Structures are given as structure tokens and as C-alpha cells.
Structure 1
Amino acid sequence: MVTGSSGLIGSEAVRYFDQQGAEVVGIDNNMRQKFFGLGGDTRWNLHYLKEFTKNFTHKDIDIRNQQDVFDVFSNHQFDLIVHCAAQPSHDKAREIPLLDFEVNALGTMHLLEATRQFCPEAVFVHMSTNKVYGDAPNEYPLIELSTRYDFA
């Protein structure tokens, strides 16, 4: 399953897994258009996916709706969930903080709970952005370690 499947990263995940022969269920409700107007509309990408993929099924649901999320999970057995759906704009987060929280936190919680209940062995991958580090993430000093396990 790929959430945000019509967006930039989500659609690339759909294409990749489709090319590997996997059956892909995509969830996207084109909320980018609600956030950003016509320039954020992702329907063109959804049309592309429907036309040029072999094993893709689209579900037009809102991840804030727990019952809809649970319905999708109860009708499929997922091995992998790639969660790309989000409200990505920090400016919008200031303008619409409750909606931002509902999409990014509550929606993610619904997906995690559905994974726990319906496919606990599945791998859950949560995509994010460098924006979580602020507007100038490349200006922070980094300490390079020999392995990622040095953080443990």
C-alpha cells in the first residue's frame, strides 16, 4: 500500500513496486488541491498511474477517516505500507494547525493502528521531509559517524 499515491514521492513508489510485479493499492484524495489550489492538483498523476501501471488500484479516501482506512486494510493483506500522505507546508501548518495535525498526526495514527490490527507483520515506512529540520537544514553542522548504529 502507498498513501499519497498521486503525489511526487508516492507515485514514484507506486511505479517502482508495480514494475517489480507487486500489487499496489494506492490511497490519495487529492487533498493537495485543497491546500494549494489548482497548482496542487494531482489528478493528472493519478490518470498516468491508472493508464501506465499494471497492478495498481486506487482508493479515494481520506486517512483522517479511521473507518475508511480500516475498511481498506480489512479487505487486503499488506506486506508493506509506504506512508507518503501529508500536509507538507510549514506555512499552511501555521495557517491551519488543526487540519495539519489531523492529516499528519491523526491520519498517521489511523494507519499505524490499522497496520497493528490487520497486518502486524507488515513493514511500515513513513516518508518525511527535510522541512522537519526547519528552513535551512543544510546549514546545521553534521557529525559523520562510521555507521548508523553509532547512534544506538
Structure 2
Amino acid sequence: MTKKKVVVTGGAGFIGGNFVQYMVNKYPNYDIYNLDLLTYAGDLTKHKEIEGKGNYHFVKADIADRETIFNQFKEEKFDYVVHFAAESHVDRSITNPEIFTQTNVLGTQVLLDAAKEFNVTKFLHVSTDEVYGELDFDPTTFFTEETPLQPNSPYSASKASSDLLVRAYHETYDLPVNITRCSNNYGPYHFPEKLIPLTISRVLNEEKVPVYGTGENIRDWLHVYDHCAAIDLVLHEGENGEVYNVGGHNEQTNLEVVKTIIKTLGKSEELIEFVKDRLGHDKRYAIDPTKLEKLGWNPTYNFDTGIAQTIQWYLDNKEWWEQIVSGEYKDYFDKQYNL
């Protein structure tokens, strides 16, 4: 197998972190570079088991820092860029949109310029189904790669902007790219501000679980391990310039997700507390992943098996999330949901 150098931006985050572990373990002859700024959601403790491996490398850097990024690309001569690094929490984008533009748009442009300057083999941009806007509750409607981009939050607008930059660099400069757009991910090391880990941690602590509005908003849930396999396939087999949607075929209302977790943990639904709905809260996301399935990918987790595995992981790794949900994070949660 030809030795490759792969830089994974945002490799200390949730999805990027799982992908770094996946790549380090699957491709021992690849050098995997985890490039991350280590903001509030970045965490390197998840990589303890791979830190000693010769093909794992960590670089602390801001993707918007042009000089540092260009120096890294010049020195290492990366073959592949897998770009996860992004501010990703919709609630935070509503209260502070500027940092989302700085990281998600300008940071992506810096990476694209470096990839163009130093002739990378593939730039894979990891995006989100939220760039498509929202669907109604008709279960026969789905996002496809041809769905127009109609983002509704500052977060999704910043991701749509970065998607368009990636497309433009392909069309203008012939940069070899792919874009993947995934549905909601869940699984190990999910930061506890997101719905599933937030619910698990609060239920285990016998604390109220905030549910926006009536809880009827629908998301298509994708296990992060299935997402990693999809990105791996697109990185190696994806047709240059193409977009691939990654969906889990697991549509659930937010309330159904919360109730499943509560039931699994043997707690009372009295822990549920309905709170004021989020501004611009999209009704439903659902992906048609046919294009990716034709490339050779299929999800291995359904929601029942995936949520059971995820809950068990949080039970087995309390020390990881307990230190996160204490202190300033608890203050953030309480303020965000008026608890």
C-alpha cells in the first residue's frame, strides 16, 4: 500500500476525532495528522490509545491562520485533506454568528488556498444536511444532492458558504474535491451540548432534560462509525467534484429520542421539561443516500442498536463527560435552556 499523508482538520472534535482513530487503525501505512485548535469542544484525551502509534501526529493550529497552515502544508506535503474543523452548534451560532463565519468560511478558504498551492490529491469537505434548509413532515420527501441550498441558521449558512467555496475552487482552479453532507451524528465522544449526550448525562444525574417546543422536530440519525466508513469510501473512490449525501435511514422526533434514552436508563419521563423553541428551528431533515450506496456504502447501525451502544459508552466513560458538564458548561446549559 502506498504511503499517504492525510491531514484531518478538527480531529480533536466529535466526528473528526472518531475519524482520526478510524484512519490510524485501518491504515497503519498512512501518516494521519490531527490538526486542531483545541477550542472548547476539542479534546485530546480521546486519543490516548493511538498517541503512541507511529502513524499518528498532532498539530495545534487555527485553520484561519494562513501563515501557519501554509507552513504545515509546505513542510508535510499532504496528499489528502479531510476537513471537519468547524463551529457546529446551532444554538451558539444564534448568539454569536461571527465566529462561525470566521472559522467555517474564512478558515475553509485558507485550507483551500493551501491545498491548491501545494497540489493535494483530494480535498474532502465534510458538511451537513442543514445546508438544504428544512423538509415538511411528509415522510416521502428527502434531501438529495440536487436539493437547492436554503440554510436557515447562521451555522448552516456558514457551512453552505464553505460548500460553495469548495465547489468554486474545483470549477475555477480544477482542485480535486468532494463534499459530503451528513445527517445528525451520534456515538462515542459526542460533546454533551448536543441532544443525545446532553440527554444521557442529565438523565444519569437525575436532572431535567430540556426539549425545544413540543419535541416534534425530526432528524435522521447517523452513527458516527458509519459516517467514518462513508468518508473513507468517498476519499478513495469518490468521483472528482461530486457531492455525496450520508444518511442513516433512522428518522426520529427529538421527543422520541429523549424518551428512548430515559426508558433505556430506567428513569421517569417526568425529567422531560419542554422549553421555548429555538429560533428558526427546522422541522425535519431526511437524506436520500442512494448516490453513496451506489458507490458501495451502507449503514451498519439502525437506531436501536446504535443508541444502545452509545448509551453504554456513556455509562462506561463517565469520567470523560462528567468533567465537561461541570463548571462553566453547566452554567451555559442552565442559561441556554432557562433551567
Q: Could you say which TM-score interval applies, normalised by the shorter chain?
A: 0.7 to 0.9
| Structure 2 counterpart SS, 1:16 | helix
Structure-2 residue corresponding to 1:36: none
What is the correspondence of 1:28-43 to structure 2 with a 5 Å cutoff? 28-31=36-39, 33=40, 40-43=41-44
**Structure 1 residue 65 and structure 2 residue 30: aligned?**
no
| Structure 2 counterpart SS, 1:50 | coil
Moved more, 40-49 or 83-92: 40-49
Structure-1 residue corresponding to 2:32: 24
- List alignment gaps of at least 5 residues for structure 1: 34-39
Q: Distance in 2 between matches of 1:23 and 1:138?
A: 44
Q: Distance in 2 between matches of 1:61 and 1:138?
A: 42
Q: Distance in 1 between matches of 2:11 and 2:290?
A: 35
| Structure 1 counterpart SS, 2:58 | strand
What is the correspondence of 1:107-126 to structure 2 with a 5 Å cutoff? 107-118=107-118, 120-126=119-125
Structure-1 residue corresponding to 2:128: 129
Deviation of residue 116 (structure 1)? 0.1
In the alignment of these two chains, the number of paired residues is 139
8 Å Cα contact 1:11-1:49 kept in structure 2: no
Q: For 1:106-126, what per-residue CA distance to the aligned partner results, in whole angstroms no more than 9, with x for missing partners?
A: 0000000000001x2420011
Q: For 1:2-36, what per-residue CA distance to the aligned partner results, in whole angstroms no more than 9, with x for missing partners?
A: 000111221222223222120111101111x1xxx
What's the C-alpha RMSD, in Å, of the aligned pairs? 2.7
Matching residue's letter, 2:79? D
Rate the CA distance shift 1:58–1:93 in 2: closer, same or farther, 3 A. Answer: same
Deviation of residue 96 (structure 1)? 1.5
- Give the percent of matched residue pairs that are identical in Structure 1 and Structure 2: 27
Higher helix share: 1
Q: For 1:111-147, what per-residue CA distance to the aligned partner results, in whole angstroms no more than 9, with x for missing partners?
A: 00000001x2420011122333457688671276975
Deviation of residue 77 (structure 1)? 1.4
The TM-score normalised by the length of structure 2 is 0.37
What is the correspondence of 1:85-124 to structure 2 with a 5 Å cutoff? 85-118=85-118, 120-124=119-123
Q: Distance in 2 between matches of 1:145 and 1:48?
A: 33
Structure-2 residue corresponding to 1:37: none
Matching residue's letter, 1:17? M
Q: Distance in 1 between matches of 2:34 and 2:136?
A: 30
8 Å Cα contact 2:21-2:47 kept in structure 1: no
Higher strand share: 2
| Structure 2 counterpart SS, 1:75 | helix
The TM-score normalised by the length of structure 1 is 0.78
- List alignment gaps of at least 5 residues for structure 2: 1-6, 145-287, 293-339
What is the correspondence of 1:75-90 to structure 2 with a 5 Å cutoff? 75-90=75-90
Larger Rg: 2
